[in-house]
Amino acid sequence: MLHVSVKPEILFYISNFPITNSYLATILTLLIFFILAYNYNSAKLSGKQNTLTTLLDFVQEQLYTYMKGITKSYVTILYPLLGSYFFFIIISNYLGLLPGFGSITFKPEIKAEHSAIEQIQLEPKTNENSLPFLSEFFKTKEDTDISEQKNQNHETVHLLRGPTADLNTTIALALISVFIIQYYGIKINGAKNYAKKFFNTSSAMMFILGLFELMSEFIRIISFSFRLFGNIFAGEVILMVIAFLIPYFASFPFLLFEFFVGFIQAFVFTTLSAIFIMQAIETQHH
Amino acid sequence: MQDIAAAIAIGFGAIGPGIGIGLIGAKAMEAIGRNPDAQDKIQTSMFLAFAFAEAIAIFALVLSFIIKFVK
């Protein structure tokens, strides 16, 4: 059956900390990151050149030259962050396309540690005044909700899910990005000059434009996170739906498209972060 | 009702970005035709603008998923 859930499903709890299926995949991403970095570092330190160093050198050189074109003289400060964004997002996107992601399901018995109040509410309310067979007609919405809630503990759950197909990951990345934009704007321009961009008191129209600028800073969080989440999650859903309709090789063209989309989204996230940081650093002088 | 809402959300939400992406591609091709040496730069900027325009369609898609799959 087809199980699509926008929320990532909780697999188990480690003493009140929920571990979701995309959290497992994020840990896998970090492991891959560390293994790549360790092998690259040890090969570079001993002076050898194997395929891994050649490949990573090529990718890094392209990315560094491109970032240098955007960020000009600040590339030495900004490249660690932007390079990390690129590699993390692209590894996350491609990890969600491996076999096993989205296809291994199981029915967990979640022994969630509910608080005492929740446990009282989870027991269905019995209406003792009515006749037993009439209670079916007088079921309120709360009764059906509670029975659904009890059934939810036994739904099938995917074991693994792409890390960026989880809105939590993308919102975290977007928050880091927007925070870094403000941080570098304030650090290089000074807090007063940077605040003048938003609270421009030269004329009434510029003041309203400044407020719009402030609002668009917050909208950027949603734009960053939903762009990445939407592309990757929609790709996952399309692959699942097509595989559900036509079992064998029909999802292959969509898989190729997902490779392209994964690369483009990582590239766009990095480039947009770089462009916005440069906009914040070099504020225009009206 | 939820199904209809989800279909309408993505149906109307994909009109604008579709036209937008077509315009971006057309202008990019025109620019490349005029100046074939700048093809790399134009192609990179085209992909960037394409991702912006597609993001709007993706917002509509995510909303339709939320409407359909979240009770």
For the cut 80, the answer to whether the pLDDT of residue A39 exceeds it is yes
List the single residue in A66, A226, A272 with the smallest CB-CB distance to B58.
Answer: A226
pLDDT value at residue B43? 86
**A115: its two tokens:** 């608080």
pLDDT digits (tens, 9 = 90+) for A149-179: 444 445 778 888 888 988 899 999 999 999 9
pLDDT digits (tens, 9 = 90+) for A16-28: 888 888 898 999 9
pLDDT digits (tens, 9 = 90+) for B9-21: 999 999 999 999 9
pLDDT value at residue A92? 92
ipTM exceeding the 0.90 mark: no
Question: If pLDDT is split at 50, 70 and 90, which confidence band does A15 have?
Answer: confident
What is the secondary structure of A272-284 as a DSSP string?
HHHHHHHHHHS--
pLDDT value at residue A207? 84
pLDDT digits (tens, 9 = 90+) for A234-252: 888 888 888 888 878 888 8
**Between residues 220 and 259 of chain A, which touch chain B (CB distance below 8 Å)?**
223, 226-227, 229-231, 233-234, 237
Contact yes or no for A154/A109 (Cβ under 8 A)? yes
Spell A214-243 as b/e; 16+ CB within 10 A means b: eeebeebbebbbbbbbbbbbbbbbbbbebb
Question: If pLDDT is split at 50, 70 and 90, which confidence band does A1 have?
Answer: low
CA distance A283 to B6: 42
For the cut 60, the answer to whether the pLDDT of residue A122 exceeds it is no
What backbone phi and psi angles, to 5 degrees, belong to A136?
-65, -35
pLDDT digits (tens, 9 = 90+) for A272-281: 999 889 888 8
For the cut 80, the answer to whether the pLDDT of residue A117 exceeds it is no
CA distance A13 to A10: 8
pLDDT value at residue B9? 92
Query: By CA distance, what is A275's nearest residue in B?
Result: B48
List the single residue in A226, A265, A267 with the smallest CB-CB distance to B62.
Answer: A226
Provide the terminal-to-terminal Cα distance of chain A, rounded to the nearest Å: 59
pLDDT value at residue A118? 45
CA distance A251 to chain B (A): 20
Mean pLDDT of A30-55: 89
CA distance B50 to A264: 10
pLDDT value at residue A198? 80
pLDDT value at residue A216? 86
Tell me the pLDDT of chain A averaged across its residues.
80
Query: By CA distance, what is B54's nearest residue in A?
Result: A227
What percentage of chain A carries pLDDT values higher than 90?
Answer: 27
List the single residue in B47, B52, B62 with the smallest CB-CB distance to A230.
Answer: B62
Alpha helices (runs of H) in chain A, residue ranges in sequence order: 21-45, 51-71, 75-95, 116-122, 141-151, 167-189, 191-198, 204-245, 252-281
pLDDT value at residue A250? 85
Tell me the pLDDT of chain B averaged across its residues.
89
Lowest mean pLDDT among A44-48, A198-202, B26-30, B37-41: A198-202
What backbone phi and psi angles, to 5 degrees, belong to A128?
-80, -15
What percentage of chain B carries pLDDT values higher than 70?
Answer: 100
